[in-house]
Amino acid sequence: MTADIRNWVHIGTLEDIPREGARCVKNGDMTIAIFRTAKDDVFALEDKCPHKNGPLSQGIVHDGCVTCPLHNWVISLETGAAQGADEGRTAAFPVRLEDGRILIDLSYSHEAV
Amino acid sequence: MTKQKLVIVGNGMAPGRMLENLFEKDRDAYDVTIFNAEPRVNYNRLMLSPVLSGEKSYEDIITHGDDWYAEHGVTLHKGARVAEIDRDAKTVTSENGVTASYDKLVIATGSSPFIIPLPGKDLDGVLTYRDLDDVEKMLDAAKRGGRAVVIGGGLLGLEAAAGLKMQGMDVTVLHLMPTLMERQLDPAAGFLLEAEFKRRGIDVRTKANSHKILGDDAGKVRGIRLDDGTEIEASIIVMAVGIRPSADLAREVGLDVNRGVLVGDDMRTSDADIFSLGECVEHRGMCYGLVAPLYEMAGVIADNLLGASSEYTGSVTATKLKVTGVDLYSAGDFSEGDDREEIVLRDASAGVYKRIVLKDNKIVGAVLYGETSDGPWFFDLLKKGTDVSDMRETLIFGQAYQGGSPLDPTAAVAALPDDAEICGCNGVCKGKIVTTIKAKGLTTLDGVRAHTKASNSCGTCTGLVEQLMQVTLGDAYNPAAVTPMCGCTHLGHDEVRRLIKSKELKSIPAVMQELEWTTSGGCAKCRPALNYYLVSDWPDEYADDYQSRFINERVHANIQKDGTYSVVPRMWGGMTSSKELRAIADVVDKFNIPAVKCTGGQRIDMLGIRKEDLPAVWADLGKAGFVSGQAYAKGLRTVKTCVGTDWCRFGTQDSTGLGIKLEKFMWGSWTPAKLKMAVSGCPRNCAEATCKDIGIICVDSGYEIHFAGAAGLDIKGTEVLGLVKTEDEAIEHVAALTQMYREQGHYLERIYKWAKRIGLEEIRRQIMDDEAMRVAYFDRFVFSQKFAQVDPWSERVSGKDKHEFKPMAVLTKEAAE
């Protein structure tokens, strides 16, 4: 139902984020981490590890995942799900790239667990 | 059909190997019963010397544990010396009354040490060197200290002497002949060996003829008198002058015996149902005391027990001395003669001596001292009787020099023929190792040892076996660290570091491409490691990849559990001033920093700073002269000091000054893991230098350099590197040690773990003894510091990486709609 009503917000350009790095977007009390991979794909996760709320934006980005800087949990950039034996999920937001402009939809997320 | 019964008298290495061969071929042919006079399982007698020297324990040298006998259904009677063999009834009976009947009997009673019939030979404290009981007696004596006199400067005597010395005893070696090991070495090599033993503080006396062993009233040894009247005090006397076959049992039951039990090429004694092997036999006039021939005999008997008709035709033997740090190899016959020629190479400065004896253009003997890696190659040419006229000019330089320019060692191994012997102890040739590696898919040294027995006995061929694995497996074999760095590669840290240098890989993508990473971009384990290796190896060329650094090193502060950061400025050597303290107080007030704490490294930590505030905090601290304390770095952290001669009434040197000098010289250096140092002004050690990665204890005579301590997950006191006289020397040694660690350490491997892996002796040798090497390390450290000593805080204050500290966007409710 709401799937068609998307609220795309322009937050910056691809060049604002270092390759294999991340930047943050503040949205009220929530911080969203925007990741750029080696292949220039862009993903958005709430900046909170499902384990102990570590800031995922500060982690190392590799192969479609980010490793949390606090206790090395590995989180999928696409789904926000913890990888391997760990269980938990961070909210993930849809992202679109248009001519190097990054748009995210904050009204719609995979549920955080 | 009922199984045949096999009884073995003796449980040494030869029958042990024979059973392995037998079970490998047919597990069910025999019910086996063993009578062992020693009260234990089968162990590797070759390794007694490392047990004596303390480098191995008894458990390390067990060949077959109790499990093995159970698993193979072997009945082992321990401590059961055989008293009687009834050849008509075909039974064996032990002194403690156990009787077993046999279809086939193997006599493997080995040898016993020769006791010189000197007056006093029965005194308490006169020992031999043959089995574990002897070793235990020697170790027991070593605990009480004093002097040991070893009679006999042959293989066993010298190993015993070196071991007792390592156990802390004073040692004298008495040798009847003019040079040591005269049966295996020519006089020149014997002289080098004597010099080496003297250098170790062992008193070597050649042409020394023992006259009488002296005892005290209690019947204990107190010394020895030589023919020339010299008396030497001693608490133990070790006789190691040779062995003789133990053939009494065979003689008593009427078998043909000469010096040893006589056997034919089929290893049968004069009774067709009784075989014999090992040091107790005499075959074609020869008695052997080395392990390789015994193992060959073992294979022949195993075959013949199963109805084959194998033959043993005698062995040519090669000898190695198993004393750590002495490389010595000899093979064949090297006596002089009119029909013989010799080629000699001497390199006095390197302590190398090599001599090849030729007859009719064939090698008949070889003696190598100091550098023995070509031993097996010479031995192979000798055994095959290869005509060496074509390579005569370069023969002495070894295999790598044949056919043009020097090759790397693996090429030399690759060039060996399949039947070249790699492991002399176990008679394993190259072809067997290569085919086993391939057939079983082996990738580890332990695997190769388990399946081929190569390098499984004395271990001196381990290097060759590893090279062979390298040749066979290519990059898939990583000799030092079999564990891969991470899931992205099958290579271990050492191999990656080696390849980065040899292939001149200078970026992370280049490493991943060339070394065939299995993931496209690595992971959070390998990327920081590779980044460090590249920073360390190519300080002037490699551009640090910040995205491959952990957050602390990326933003030069320590992340805390709530996502805020802590900031620790440098306080050189732990010294500060009112001006610095005032600046810190002002920063704390201005940025509402919630916590201020003293660290264990003598400086001040400000905790709870928001990431966005970091550049402004650093700017204010920078104005007061502070630079980053790198309290977050896998790199140089602090140099803790005490007040030394400046204030302390016990101080012997200016420890504070030296600490500051060291810190100012070494700050900014990246290392495999964090590096904490300390300088204490006297042995009271108020700076706690003896649990640091590197510590210095000042003493009246100079500076004692310590390293490899730990006070974290592990607690460990430091090891002493050595004593130097001046501050400049102390700094040079510490920097060289650090550089060695930087170049060899695995990422996240603290210096104490690295030191354990490399070996303290090797580190001391390279840093303390080898001046050229130390200076080279030092120079490389100085070079890399040119690129490392840039204060990361001031860089960021002036705008570097500013994206790190600001949000990309701040959304308002309006913007979202």
Select from B395, B347, B419 the least CA-distant residue to B192.
Answer: B347
- Give chain A's length: 113
List the single range of B126-130, B351-355, B507-511 with lowest mean pLDDT. Answer: B351-355
pLDDT score of B658: 96
Prediction ipTM score: 0.86
Answer whether residue A108 shows pLDDT above 90. no
Which of A24, A27, A63 is closest, CB to CB, to B523? A63
In which band, very low, low, confident or very high, does the pLDDT at B44 lie, cut at 50, 70 and 90?
Answer: confident
Alpha-carbon span B724 to B769, nearest angstrom = 12
Answer whether residue B109 shows pLDDT above 60. yes
Answer whether residue A15 shows pLDDT above 80. yes
Neighbours of B185 (CB within 10 A): 26
B236 & B253 share domain: no
pLDDT score of B349: 66
- Residues in A closer than 8 angstroms to B809, CB to CB, are 11-12, 25-26
pLDDT score of B757: 85
Q: State mean pLDDT over B139-156.
A: 90
- Residues in A closer than 8 angstroms to B520, CB to CB, are 38, 63
Distance from CA of B525 to the nearest CA of A (A): 10
Alpha-carbon span B355 to B338, nearest angstrom = 17
In which band, very low, low, confident or very high, does the pLDDT at B404 lie, cut at 50, 70 and 90?
Answer: very low
List the single range of B198-207, B229-238, B336-345, B524-533 with lowest mean pLDDT. Answer: B336-345
Burial B595-616 (b: 16+ CB within 10 A, else e): eeeebebbbbbbbbbebebbbe
Helices B462-473 and B445-452, interaxial angle, to 10°? 110
Q: State mean pLDDT over B489-507.
A: 87
Which of B521, B549, B807 is closest, CB to CB, to A63? B521
pLDDT score of B359: 87
* B60 inside domain: yes
CATH value at residue B165: 3.50.50.60
Contact B811 A25 (CB under 8 A): yes
Answer whether residue B775 shows pLDDT above 60. yes
Q: Determine the Cα angle at A79 with ends A75 and A84, to 5°.
A: 40
Alpha-carbon span B376 to B602, nearest angstrom = 57
Beta-carbon contacts of residue B414 (< 8 Å; ≥ 6 apart): B471
Distance from CA of B669 to the nearest CA of A (A): 22
pLDDT score of B406: 45
B517 & B615 share domain: no
List the single range of B36-40, B424-428, B577-581, B719-723 with lowest mean pLDDT. Answer: B424-428
The amino acid sitting at B351 is: G
| Contact criterion met (CB below 8 Å) for B337 and B365 | no
pLDDT score of B409: 60
Q: What kind and span of H or E run contains B530? A: helix B526-537
Q: State mean pLDDT over B728-755.
A: 96
CATH value at residue B594: 3.90.480.10
Which of A28, A55, A61 is closest, CB to CB, to B563? A55
List the single range of A5-19, B194-208, B394-408 with lowest mean pLDDT. Answer: B394-408
What is the SS3 assignment for B187?
helix
Which of A7, A21, A24 is closest, CB to CB, to B547? A21
* A110 inside domain: no
Do the bridges between strand B281-283 and strand B261-263 make them parallel or antiparallel, or are there none, so unpaired? parallel
Number of domains in chain B: 5
- Residues in B closer than 8 angstroms to A38, CB to CB, are 520-521
* A111 inside domain: no
List the single range of B351-360, B703-712, B736-745, B806-815 with lowest mean pLDDT. Answer: B806-815
Contact A62 B522 (CB under 8 A): yes
Select from B191, B151, B143 the least CA-distant residue to B171.
Answer: B151
- Residues in B closer than 8 angstroms to A34, CB to CB, are 808
| Contact criterion met (CB below 8 Å) for B710 and B750 | yes
B592 & B669 share domain: no
| Contact criterion met (CB below 8 Å) for B436 and B451 | yes
What one-character-per-residue DSSP string does B298-365 give? HHHHHHHHTT----------EEE---TT--EEEEE-----TTEEEEEEEETTTTEEEEEEEETTEEEE
Name the more confident of B481 and B624.
B624
Distance from CA of B24 to the nearest CA of A (A): 43
By CA distance, what is A36's nearest residue in B?
A: B547
By CA distance, what is B522's nearest residue in A?
A: A62
Place of tokens 């022949």: B300
pLDDT score of B405: 45
Q: How many helices (H) and strands (E) does chain A have?
A: 0, 10
* B436 inside domain: no
Do the bridges between strand B274-276 and strand B99-101 make them parallel or antiparallel, or are there none, so unpaired? unpaired
pLDDT score of B736: 97
B89 & B37 share domain: yes
Mutation target for B interface from A32, A60, A93, A106: give the one with most B CBs within 10 A. Answer: A60
pLDDT score of B1: 54
By CA distance, what is A5's nearest residue in B?
A: B817
pLDDT score of B371: 82
Contact B816 A27 (CB under 8 A): yes
* A91 inside domain: yes
Burial B662-692 (b: 16+ CB within 10 A, else e): bbebbbbbbbbbbbbbbbbbbeebbbebbbb
| Contact criterion met (CB below 8 Å) for B729 and B778 | no
- Torsion region of B526: left, alpha or beta (phi above 0 gives left; psi -120 to 50 gives alpha): alpha
User: What's the distance, Cα to Cα, between the start and end of chain A in Å?
Assistant: 22
Number of domains in chain A: 1
pLDDT tens-digit series, residues B282-312: 998 888 887 888 888 999 999 999 988 889 9
Mutation target for B interface from A5, A16, A20: give the one with most B CBs within 10 A. Answer: A20
Which of A9, A59, A61 is closest, CB to CB, to B816? A9
Answer whether residue B217 shows pLDDT above 80. yes
B626 & B640 share domain: no
In which band, very low, low, confident or very high, does the pLDDT at B816 lie, cut at 50, 70 and 90?
Answer: very low
Contact A11 B803 (CB under 8 A): no
Distance from CA of A78 to the nearest CA of B (A): 16
Which of B528, B555, B808 is closest, CB to CB, to A23? B808
Contact A60 B527 (CB under 8 A): yes
Contact A63 B522 (CB under 8 A): yes
Distance from CA of B632 to the nearest CA of A (A): 13
By CA distance, what is A106's nearest residue in B?
A: B816
Q: pLDDT above 90 covers what percent of chain A?
A: 66
Answer whether residue B397 shows pLDDT above 90. no
* A49 inside domain: yes
pLDDT score of B273: 94
Distance from CA of B4 to the nearest CA of A (A): 55
Name the more confident of B464 and A96.
A96
Contact A25 B817 (CB under 8 A): no
B191 & B260 share domain: no
Distance from CA of B793 to the nearest CA of A (A): 18
By CA distance, what is B816's nearest residue in A?
A: A9
The answer on whether B280 is annotated among ligand-binding residues is: no
Range of the domain at A79: 2-105
| Contact criterion met (CB below 8 Å) for B507 and B647 | no
List the single range of B260-269, B423-432, B542-551, B704-713 with lowest mean pLDDT. Answer: B423-432
Average pLDDT, chain B: 88
Q: Under an 8 Å CB criterion, which residues of A touch B? A: 7, 9, 11-12, 16-21, 23-28, 31, 34, 37-38, 52-55, 58-63, 67, 69-70, 72, 74, 106-107
By CA distance, what is B815's nearest residue in A?
A: A9
B644 & B770 share domain: yes
B620 & B646 share domain: no
pLDDT score of A101: 93
By CA distance, what is A20's nearest residue in B?
A: B547
The answer on whether B488 is annotated among ligand-binding residues is: no
- Residues in B closer than 8 angstroms to A25, CB to CB, are 807-811
Name the more confident of B506 and B414.
B506
B704 & B603 share domain: no
pLDDT tens-digit series, residues A23-38: 999 998 899 999 999 8
Distance from CA of B712 to the nearest CA of A (A): 18
pLDDT score of B815: 43
Range of the domain at B226: 126-241
pLDDT tens-digit series, residues A31-85: 999 999 988 899 999 999 999 999 999 999 998 999 999 988 999 999 999 998 7
Distance from CA of B513 to the nearest CA of A (A): 15
Which of A11, A37, A54 is closest, CB to CB, to B808? A11
In which band, very low, low, confident or very high, does the pLDDT at B717 lie, cut at 50, 70 and 90?
Answer: very high
Which of A31, A60, A62 is closest, CB to CB, to B550? A60
pLDDT tens-digit series, residues B464-480: 888 888 888 877 676 55
| Contact criterion met (CB below 8 Å) for B522 and A67 | no
Q: How many CB pairs under 8 A join A and B?
A: 90
Name the more confident of B142 and B675.
B675
Contact A60 B524 (CB under 8 A): yes
* B16 inside domain: yes
B263 & B176 share domain: no
Mutation target for A interface from B489, B513, B544, B811: give the one with most A CBs within 10 A. Answer: B811
Burial B759-786 (b: 16+ CB within 10 A, else e): eeeebbebbbeeeeebeebbebbeebbe
* A112 inside domain: no
Q: State mean pLDDT over B233-239.
A: 93
pLDDT score of B352: 81
Distance from CA of B515 to the nearest CA of A (A): 18
Contact B811 A106 (CB under 8 A): yes
By CA distance, what is A103's nearest residue in B?
A: B816
Contact A60 B548 (CB under 8 A): yes
In which band, very low, low, confident or very high, does the pLDDT at B319 lie, cut at 50, 70 and 90?
Answer: confident
Torsion of CA B544, B550, B553, B558, to 10 degrees: 170
Contact B550 A53 (CB under 8 A): no
CATH value at residue A24: 2.102.10.10
- Residues in A closer than 8 angstroms to B561, CB to CB, are 52, 70
Select from B580, B456, B518, B520 the least CA-distant residue to B17.
Answer: B456
Contact A38 B521 (CB under 8 A): yes
Distance from CA of A90 to the nearest CA of B (A): 16
In which band, very low, low, confident or very high, does the pLDDT at B388 lie, cut at 50, 70 and 90?
Answer: confident
B670 & B621 share domain: no
B628 & B668 share domain: no
In which band, very low, low, confident or very high, does the pLDDT at B459 lie, cut at 50, 70 and 90?
Answer: low
